[in-house]
Amino acid sequence: MVAPDAPVRVTVLIMSYQHERYVARALDSVLEQDGDIPYEILVGDDASDDRSRSIIAEYADAHPDRIRPFFPDSNLGLEGKAMFNELLERARGEYVAKLDGDDYWTSPAKLRRQVAYLDAHPECSMCFHNVLWRHEDGSRPDIPYNSPDQPSELRMQDLLSANPVASCSGVFRRKAIHPLPGWFFQQPWGDWQLNLIASQQGSIHYLPELMAVHLTHPAGMWSRLSCLEALEGITRCQEGLRGIVPPELEWRRREALAVTWVKRAAEHARLGDRAEARRCLRVSFHVCPTDVRRLRRGSGQRRRLILLLRLTVVGPLLARGRRVRDRLSTGPAAAGAAVRRARRGRRRPD
């Protein structure tokens, strides 16, 4: 039992919205944590109109020593960032663990393992672990969220191009992310930015154990986006970090942003919009001009140059070749060839 005035080591923040099918499983997975770590659960429902609130209230009534619900009168907006801030303000723990109401933990040792690591490594601002990525409809097989070559240590420069941290896996030092800076609320999403904030206060450590499930379903915030919409959101995130990253990392931010513009160009080219693809490519070169010293594998520079050749040289040449072929197949020369073939067809052998 956690008394109101007792010290709390970990606060688990659960965000729920339209999660009546999932939130009980999320709560159970937290209540099943082993060890003697004093923890509390703050559950915020962002004005769902399904049964999410009643389910959370039932759990709070059954576990008043552990669960504190927060039910605002209306949706707080900002894609869940406002709700997270409200819960973070109410947190009493030295550490903060985050869990969306449609995900769940699979290891009873999760909190114990992560708290033990953070206790032993004061230079570390957060740690995370591998997660099983599951598609609810079974359209894809379950796969680990992180690849086998995932580095064990991350710093800010490693987070500028992508976010390798599943939202249900992180445990933070509360002082590393509280209070949240103003720029956090201007961003399209919150998970990626939360990790960037933590990286400003220390290193981030990765534990390779699979200790949670991240569920993808049609109502999910990320899964309902098209590829282009996701890339546009990533662009806004990276652009919003201007002036946030240290000056010595600005070139890394610009390089990562340029790569995202290249990906947008490639997607537009795939969809047949070559004009918009060329525009995105021009923006990429404006953001980060080509540097021959950085034509290393994985930097995105090679892909950009190849796409430039496709859009400005190879593509137009192929299109011109098709136009010439079409004219030859429909012009006077083609008509004469057709007549000659017809005449040859009417001849009979002696």
Per DSSP bridges, beta strands 39-45 and 67-70 are parallel
Contact 30, 57 (CB under 8 A): no
Give every CB contact of residue 46 below 8 A, 6+ residues apart in sequence.
Answer: 15, 16, 17, 72, 75, 76, 80, 83
pLDDT of the residue at 309: 66
pLDDT of the residue at 118: 98
pLDDT of the residue at 333: 56
Rounded CA-CA distance 270/27 in Å is: 42
161: which 2 tokens?
């191009």
pLDDT of the residue at 315: 46
pLDDT of the residue at 156: 96
pLDDT of the residue at 217: 78
Give every CB contact of residue 231 below 8 A, 6+ residues apart in sequence.
Answer: 260, 263, 264, 267
Domains located in the chain, CATH noted: 10-216 (3.90.550.10), 227-330 (no CATH)
Mean pLDDT per block of 10 residues along the chain (350 residues) reads 71 97 98 94 97 98 98 94 98 98 97 98 98 92 96 96 95 98 93 96 97 85 80 94 95 93 92 92 89 56 66 51 57 56 52
Rounded CA-CA distance 88/82 in Å is: 10
Q: Angle at CA 218, nearest 5°, toward 216 and 222?
A: 60
Contact 111, 10 (CB under 8 A): yes
Which residue has tokens 């010290």?
A: 7
Kindly write down the DSSP assignment for every residue of 63-116, as one continuous string.
Answer: -TTTEEEE--SS---GGGHHHHHHHHHH---SEEEEEETT-EE--TTHHHHHHH
pLDDT of the residue at 139: 87
